[in-house]
Amino acid sequence: MIMSYLAVPISASNPDKAAEQIKAALAAGAEILELRTDYLENLSGQMVRELVAAARAAGSKAVPLIVTCRDKNQGGSIGYPLKLRLDVLVAALKAGAEFIDFELDNFLRIENQERILVALSQSRRGRLILSAHNFSGKFDDILGLHRRILSICPSAIPKLVYTADHINDCFGALDLLNRTGGERIALCMGEAGVITRILAKKFGGFVTFASLAEQCATAPGQLTISELKDLYRYDAINAETELFGVIAEPVAHSLSPAIHNAGFASLGMNRLYLPLLVQAGSAGFDSFMRNIIRRRWLNFRGLSVTIPHKHNALAFARSAGAKIEPLAEKIGAVNTLVLSAQGGIRAYNTDYAAALDAITSAMGIARSDLKDLNVAVIGAGGVSRAIVAGLNDFGARIKIYNRTVEKAQKLAEDFGCEYAGLDELDKLDARLIVNCTSVGMYPNVDESPLLEGCLDGEMTVFDTVYNPAETLLLKQAKKARARVIDGVTMFVNQAIAQFRLFTGQEADAELARKTVMNCLS
Ligand code: NAP
C-alpha cells in the first residue's frame, strides 16, 4: 500500500515566523512539511538552506520536507522570477530536502528541466513533484495528464490540483486515485472539493494538505490540521473505511459530522462521516447519488439529508426503487438513506420520531396522551410537516400558523388541521407550542416568533431551532414559567436514530449532546 502523508504548508513571511510555524506544525502532528518559500520576503537560496536546517533542528528529522516556490500564475504568493525560484529549489536539494515541487508547464522548457534534473541527480534522496493546477475548473482529461507527466519524467510524483465547482467534480480526482497506482497526488480546491482532501488517505493519495489555522491556508478549501485529525478522524482512515455523510447546502457549519464521527470513534468503528456540499436542485442531487452508487469502491453506506434536499431524496429514492418507510412517504421527505454493499437503498425520516420523543419525554407523557392536546405549530416548511404528521398520528388538535398563509393552508389540508396567519398568534390557545420557523436562529438571535405576553406557565414550548440552544423564544417561555424543549434535543434524537440505522448500534446520547453543545459554544 502507498504511504499517505499529512502535509502542513509553512507559509510565513520571514524565517523567524516560519520557524514558529514549523514547531507548531510538528506539535500538531504534521507528517510532511511543505516549505512554501514563495511566501518569504527577500527570498534567497541561502535563506532556504537556513530554513531547511532550522526545520531539521526543530526535530523534523523524521518528517520529510517538500520545498515549493510556486509560480504566481499557479497560485504562488510573491511573484519571484523563474531564475530565483529555480535557484531556491536547487538550494533546497543541496540542503537535503526530500522533495521539491515544480510546475509541469515550467518543467517543459528544456533549460529548466535540465537544471532540475542535474540538481536531482546530484542529490542523495531528492525527488520531484511535478504539479499542474487549474484554478478555473476541472482538467479536460486528468488521467491523460497523469500519464503525460509520467511519460515526461517517470520518476516524478504527479500532482494534479483543480477547482471543484460542484461536488460531482470531485469524482475525476477520486477516479484517478482509484485507477492508478504509484505515488500521485490528486486534490480539488474549493469548498465543493473538501472530500478529496479528507479521502486522499483512503485512496492512497501521496499527500493531503492541511493548514495550521484557517488564516494560514495556502489553497481554497484547505482544512485545518485539527479539523482533519479531530473532526474527520484522519488517523483512523484506511482503505477499508466505510463512508457516511450529510448532503446539504450550506454544509460547512453542520453539526452532523461532529456528532456521527464522535459516535464512530467512541465505538471504535472504521467509519467516517463527511460534509457533502450538494448545491440546491434535484439534478445535482440525483447525479451525486448516481456517482456514489456507481462507484461501489467508494464504500458509501449511509447519508443524512437536510436542507434543501429532503424532497429530492424522496424523489430519488422512488426513482431508484429504494425501500421507503411509509412514514417518509407520508411526510413527503427523506432525511436518511442507507446504502447496502450490494447496492440496495433504504429511505427513512427520523425527524418525526425525534420530535415526538423530545415532546413526550419532556412532558412526561406517552404518545397516546397526545390525543386531543391543543397544539400550535408555527411554520409550514419541512420540519413542520414532519412534526404535524407525528402529532396528527396520535390525535393532537393542531393549528398551523405561517407567514405564507397558503402554505399553512396546504399543510393543514393534507393533515386535516386548522390554519392561520402569524397575525393570529396573539390569540393563541394551545398547551403545546412548536416553533418550526427559522426565526431566532443564529445570527438573528434577538428575534422570536411570539410576543412575550402570549405565554403562560401551563404551556410547553418547543423551539426546533438549535443554534443557539437557548433561543429568545425559550428565554421568554422560561420567564413565563412554561416547560421548555430545545432544538438540540430533537437534533440529537434524529442523529441517534440515524446512527442506529447506519450501524445497528446505539450511540451514546450523552456524548452526542455534549458534542453538539461544544460545537455551539
Ligand atoms: P423550511 O422548509 O425552509 O421552512 C422554513 C419555515 O420558516 C417556513 O414556514 C417559513 O415561512 C418560516 N420562516 C422563515 N423565515 C421567517 C421569518 N422571517 N418570519 C416568519 N417565518 C419565517 O425549513 P425547515 O426545514 O422546516 O427548517 C425550519 C427550522 O427548523 C430551521 O431553521 C432549523 O432551525 C429548524 N430545524 C431543526 C431541526 C432539529 O433537529 N432540531 C432539524 C431541522 C431544522 P414561509 O413559508 O412564509 O416562507
Residue 384: inside a domain: yes
Q: How far is the CA of 502 from the centre of ligand 1 (A)?
A: 26
Residue 94 annotated as catalytic: no
Residue 162: inside a domain: yes
Residue 64: inside a domain: yes
Domain CATH for 379: 3.40.50.720
Residue 239: inside a domain: no
Are 232 and 272 spatial neighbours (Cβ–Cβ below 8 Å)?
yes
Q: How far is the CA of 439 from the centre of ligand 1 (A)?
A: 7
Same domain as 456, residue 412: yes
DSSP 447-478: --SS-GGG--TT-EEEE---SSSS-HHHHHHH
Residue 236: inside a domain: no
- Which residue range is the domain that position 134 belongs to? 5-231
Q: How far is the CA of 231 from the centre of ligand 1 (A)?
A: 27
Q: Which ligand 1 atom sits closest to the C-alpha of 489?
A: 41
Same domain as 357, residue 338: no
* Count of domains forming the chain: 3
Residue 237: inside a domain: no
- Residues 6 or more apart whose CB falls under 8 angstroms from that of 286 comprise 312, 316, 319
Q: Which of 231, 263, 285 is the last residue of a domain?
A: 231
Check the CA dihedral 487-491-494-496 and report its sign.
negative
Buried b or exposed e, range 460-469, using 16+ CB within 10 angstroms: bbbbbbbbbb
Same domain as 287, residue 226: no
> Residue of the nearest CA to atom 7 in ligand 1?
437
Same domain as 153, residue 140: yes
Report which of 229, 305, 233, 306 is spatially closest to residue 271, judged by C-alpha positions.
233
What is d(CA 507, CA 509) in angstroms, rounded to the nearest whole number?
6
Same domain as 105, residue 173: yes
Residue 128: inside a domain: yes
Report which of 270, 338, 268, 256 is spatially closest to residue 301, judged by C-alpha positions.
338
Same domain as 402, residue 345: no
pLDDT of residue 86: 98
pLDDT of residue 60: 57
pLDDT 10s digits, 347-384 = 999 999 999 999 999 999 999 999 999 999 999 998 99
Which residues on adjacent β-strands are paired with residue 432?
375, 460
Pocket test for ligand 1, best of 436, 441, 462, 488 (most atoms within 8 A of CB): 436
Same domain as 329, residue 198: no
Q: Which of 177, 206, 231 is the last residue of a domain?
A: 231
How far are the Cα atoms of 128, 434, 449, 465, 474 from residue 441, in angstroms, in the given order? Answer: 50, 14, 11, 6, 12
Residue 238: inside a domain: no
pLDDT of residue 2: 58
Same domain as 377, residue 296: no
Same domain as 360, residue 339: no
Residue 178 dihedral angles phi and psi, to the nearest 5°:
-70, -35
Cell, residue 159: 500532482
Q: Indicate the length of the chain as a whole number.
A: 521
* DSSP conformational letter for 231: I
Same domain as 157, residue 36: yes
How crowded is residue 488: how many other Cβ atoms within 10 Å of its Cβ? 22
Domain CATH for 283: 3.40.50.10860
Q: Which ligand 1 atom sits closest to the C-alpha of 354?
A: 40
pLDDT of residue 453: 87
β-pair type (336-339, 345-348): antiparallel
Same domain as 253, residue 213: no
Q: Which of 182, 201, 231 is the last residue of a domain?
A: 231
Please state whether the peptide bond connecting residue 250 to the residue before it is cis, i.e. omega within 30 degrees of 0: yes
Below-70 pLDDT ranges, the chain: 1-2, 60-61
